[in-house]
Amino acid sequence: MHENTKIRREEKNDPYAKLGINLPRFIVIPAGVNFFHIMESATGRIKGFRRLHLEACLLAKSLEP
C-alpha cells in the first residue's frame, strides 16, 4: 500500500463542509509521476486510475451521476 493511501482514507474533519462547500463525488488525486487516482470523496475508495491528468478528470466526470 502506498504510504499516503492510509492518510487519505482516514476520516478527517472536512474543512469544506463547515463552509457549506460540497465536493464532487469523485476527485482526482496525484499518485506518482504522471499517475492519478480517481477517488470517491465520501469513502476515500479508489475507483480508477489514469496516467494523464486530463483523462483522469474525464473519467471522474463520467462517474458523476
pTM of the model: 0.66
How confident is the model over 3-21, as a mean pLDDT? 57
Q: Which residue has the higher pLDDT, 11 or 21?
A: 21
Give 26's strand partners. Answer: 40
Q: Which residue has the higher pLDDT, 36 or 11?
A: 36
Sign of CA dihedral 52, 58, 46, 42: positive
pLDDT at 16: 61
In angstroms, the CA 26 to CA 4 distance is 18
Q: State the pLDDT confidence band at 13, using cuts at 50, 70 and 90.
A: low
Q: What is the pLDDT of residues 33-42, one digit of tens each?
A: 999 999 998 8
